[in-house]
């Protein structure tokens, strides 16, 4: 009996040794592997050889030429929504993504979110549940959903490509890639990630979005659209921004949001403003991963390297950057309520004189953030035109988040947080004004839901989110239930990332043409839900602050800018002064 058993072992060993390497490996469960070792699908083809890829099972594929035109070249590191991801280092026609089937991916890092570069090919959203494994032996489930590469929303895509390759030729249909994030337990080291089991969900890259320890957001602006500009050829922009908190080192963030092509930054500087385009001291040169300039791929962003500069709190900075090529369209924040400057031809980023800056603009192109070293983190205000500063005094920094930032600086009840204004004029909670792709004159932005990750969750050291939106939704016919559902989702997603969330009631607007009695009924219903406070960590009753006691559906005349929708400087100051600062802090 013993001799027979040994014979069976020998035979089994010989059989296994005769199997192909892949088949033998399949008999044992492999440990976590780097993602590229798991690639089993080819998504990218050369336009001249479209049959070398089959992304969707029907011969469809992405164009390698389109990817190159967007700056998405093999092996390139891209930063999207604060996460650094690497586009697969594979030539066209080689496996470049994995179909999610429960594979275990090796990951070693700490951060606040997992970031996946994905797309679905099932004709609709596709997703499933995976598992995050931590170094301490713990594990946690996560839910990942990928929009479809042909029908998913343009408003949330990382990049859209203009063509679809097929075996029968190229089609002029836009295809999309997405960066989707899921929360992680703060402070715990991730060792591996088990992908969901969803065959039509394709993963190109995976990383951990690092927490921004040691930095505080001091100024920010949301990309509100992608508009025609200039055109600027060999020009330098000198943008004026107002800090909330200060620090001894500074870095900037530039975003090529919604773009279809890269943009080149030749050089960049930062300085404290003296007046107009004149710096108080020689501008400090900025670098990007050690280089004087940077190319920002379509849909991506860059952070400058830190530079030593004593940045004052509650002060104006000049952020200058040279555009050596021709820029005819750019991502912008339209309503700056602030003049900035454009130079004559040439690189004038380092100029200590304002003489080259002969024209002005009233938007903020490309620049989306200024961070300072140290500090306790930031409060992020997600809002619409009232937060954006519509009808406030030009160049006076009387937006209510500015006034709130000054209050925070001048007290000792809570930490001296930075205050980041992510208001967009005309923005809505649940509806996109700007469609999310292409050059457009509409600068109302994508919805609060669609921009939440980029404009709040990915912001530098965000600690508390304040949500003050909904008036544009009810004015344009959204139901109270739709607005409530959107606000509830915002609260849930922010809480999942560990943020404290405050909600502000919607201000009255009787007398403005769209603020009908029906709109006010919807507004009142949303406010009743907000005041119940079940989904938030605190409520700011801005309706009560601004309304006329004798006619609660309208603004108090002393606070009305004159259009019956937007408060003037006095009303904006009243909003900021009404905030109980203790609500900003969990401690």
Give pLDDT tens digits for 194-240. 999 999 999 999 999 998 889 999 999 999 999 999 999 999 999 99
pLDDT at 26: 39
pLDDT at 586: 80
In this predicted structure, the answer to whether residue 17 has a pLDDT above a threshold of 50 is: no
CATH superfamily of domain region 376-587: SGNH hydrolase (3.40.50.1110)
* pLDDT (average), residues 447-462: 97
Q: What is the DSSP string of 326-354?
A: EEEEEEEE---SS-EEEESSS--TT-SSS
Give pLDDT tens digits for 84-108. 999 999 999 999 999 999 999 999 9
pLDDT at 29: 54
How far apart, in whole angstroms, are the C-alpha atoms of residue 392 and residue 348? 31
Q: How far is CA 287 from the centre of its chain?
A: 22
Give pLDDT tens digits for 138-186. 999 999 999 999 999 999 999 999 999 999 999 999 999 999 999 999 8
pLDDT at 11: 34
Q: Which residues contact 556 (CB under 8 A, 6 or more apart)?
A: 546, 547, 548, 549, 571
Q: Which two tokens stand for residue 90?
A: 């594979």
In this predicted structure, the answer to whether residue 306 has a pLDDT above a threshold of 90 is: yes
How far apart, in whole angstroms, are the C-alpha atoms of residue 153 and residue 170? 22
Enclosing H/E stretch for 228: strand 225-242
Confidence category of residue 587, pLDDT binned at 50, 70, 90: low
Confidence category of residue 31, pLDDT binned at 50, 70, 90: confident
Give pLDDT tens digits for 309-351. 999 999 999 999 999 999 999 999 999 999 999 999 999 999 9
Task: Compute the chain's Rg from CA coordinates.
Answer: 26
Each residue of 112-144: b (16+ CB within 10 Å) or e?
bbbbbbbbbbbeeebbbebebbbeeeeeeebeb
Average pLDDT, the chain: 94
pLDDT at 226: 98
How far apart, in whole angstroms, are the C-alpha atoms of residue 309 and residue 284? 7
End-to-end CA distance of the chain: 72
How far apart, in whole angstroms, are the C-alpha atoms of residue 465 and residue 54? 43
Residues counted in the chain = 587
Q: Are 378 and 554 in contact (CB under 8 A)?
A: no
Please state whether 259 falls in left (phi above 0), alpha (psi between -120 and 50) or beta. Answer: beta
In this predicted structure, the answer to whether residue 23 has a pLDDT above a threshold of 90 is: no
Nearest to 433 by CA among 453, 458, 451: 451
How far apart, in whole angstroms, are the C-alpha atoms of residue 480 and residue 529? 9
In 10 A of CB 95, how many CB atoms? 16
Confidence category of residue 566, pLDDT binned at 50, 70, 90: very high
Q: Are 530 and 536 in contact (CB under 8 A)?
A: yes
Q: Where are the domains of the chain?
A: 34-209, 226-369, 376-587
How far apart, in whole angstroms, are the C-alpha atoms of residue 343 and residue 318? 13
Nearest to 527 by CA among 513, 539, 515, 509: 539
Q: Which residues contact 64 (CB under 8 A, 6 or more apart)?
A: 44, 45, 46, 47, 92
Q: How far is CA 221 from the centre of its chain?
A: 11
Enclosing H/E stretch for 251: strand 247-255
Please state whether 33 falls in left (phi above 0), alpha (psi between -120 and 50) or beta. Answer: beta
Question: Does residue 451 sit in helix, strand or coil?
Answer: helix
pLDDT at 545: 98
């Amino acid at each position: 009996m013993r001799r027979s058993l040994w014979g069976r072992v020998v035979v089994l060993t010989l059989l296994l040794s005769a199997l192909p390497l892949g088949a033998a490996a399949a008999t044992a469960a492999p440990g976590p592997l780097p993602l590229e070792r798991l690639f089993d699908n080819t998504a990218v083809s050369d336009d001249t050889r479209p049959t070398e890829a089959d992304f969707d099972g029907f011969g469809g594929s992405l164009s390698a030429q389109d990817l190159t035109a967007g700056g998405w070249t093999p092996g390139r590191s891209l930063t999207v929504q604060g996460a650094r991801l690497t586009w697969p280092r594979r030539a066209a026609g080689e496996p470049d993504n994995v179909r999610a089937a429960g594979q275990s991916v090796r990951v070693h890092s700490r951060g606040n979110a997992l970031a996946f570069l994905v797309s679905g090919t099932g004709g609709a959203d596709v997703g499933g549940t995976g598992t995050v494994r931590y170094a301490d032996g713990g594990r946690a489930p996560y839910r990942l959903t990928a929009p479809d590469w042909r029908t998913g929303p343009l408003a949330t895509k990382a990049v859209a490509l203009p063509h679809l390759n097929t075996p029968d030729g190229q089609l002029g249909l836009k295809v999309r890639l997405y960066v989707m994030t899921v929360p992680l337990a703060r402070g715990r080291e991730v060792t591996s990630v088990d992908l969901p089991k969803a065959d039509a969900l394709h993963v190109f890259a995976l990383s951990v979005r690092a927490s921004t320890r040691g930095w505080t957001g001091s100024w920010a602006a949301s990309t509100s659209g992608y508009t025609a500009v200039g055109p600027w050829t060999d020009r330098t922009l000198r943008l004026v921004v107002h800090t909330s908190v200060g620090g001894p080192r500074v870095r900037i963030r530039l975003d090529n949001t919604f773009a279809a092509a890269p943009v080149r930054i030749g050089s960049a500087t930062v300085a404290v403003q003296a007046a107009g385009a004149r710096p108080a001291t020689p501008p400090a040169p900025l670098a990007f991963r050690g280089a004087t300039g940077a190319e920002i791929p379509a849909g991506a962003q860059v952070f400058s390297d830190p530079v030593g500069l004593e940045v004052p709190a509650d002060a104006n900075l000049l952020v200058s950057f040279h555009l050596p090529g021709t820029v005819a369209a750019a991502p912008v924040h339209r309503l700056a309520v602030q003049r900035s400057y454009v130079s004559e031809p040439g690189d004038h980023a380092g100029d200590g004189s304002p003489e080259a800056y002969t024209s002005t603009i009233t938007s903020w192109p490309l620049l989306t953030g200024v961070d300072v070293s140290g500090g306790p983190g930031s409060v992020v205000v997600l809002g619409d035109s009232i937060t954006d500063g519509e009808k406030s005094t030009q160049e006076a920094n009387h937006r209510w988040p500015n006034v709130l930032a000054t209050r925070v600086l001048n007290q000792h009840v809570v930490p001296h947080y930075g205050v980041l204004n992510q208001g967009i004029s005309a923005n809505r909670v649940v509806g996109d004004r700007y469609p999310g792709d292409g050059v457009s004159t509409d600068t109302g932005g994508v919805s609060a839901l669609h921009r939440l990750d980029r404009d709040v969750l990915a912001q530098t050291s965000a600690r508390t989110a304040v949500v003050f939106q909904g008036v544009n939704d009810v004015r344009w016919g959204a139901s109270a239930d739709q607005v409530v559902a959107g606000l509830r989702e915002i609260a849930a997603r922010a809480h999942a990332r560990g943020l404290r969330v405050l909600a502000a009631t919607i201000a009255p607007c009787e007398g403005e043409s769209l603020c009908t009695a029906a709109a006010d009924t919807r507004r009142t219903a949303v406010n009743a839900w907000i005041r119940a406070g079940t989904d938030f960590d605190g409520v700011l009753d801005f309706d009560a602050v601004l309304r006329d006691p004798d006619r609660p559906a309208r603004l108090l005349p002393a606070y009305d800018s004159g259009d019956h929708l937007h408060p003037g400087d006095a009303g904006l100051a009243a909003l900021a002064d009404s905030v109980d600062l203790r609500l900003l802090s969990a401690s």
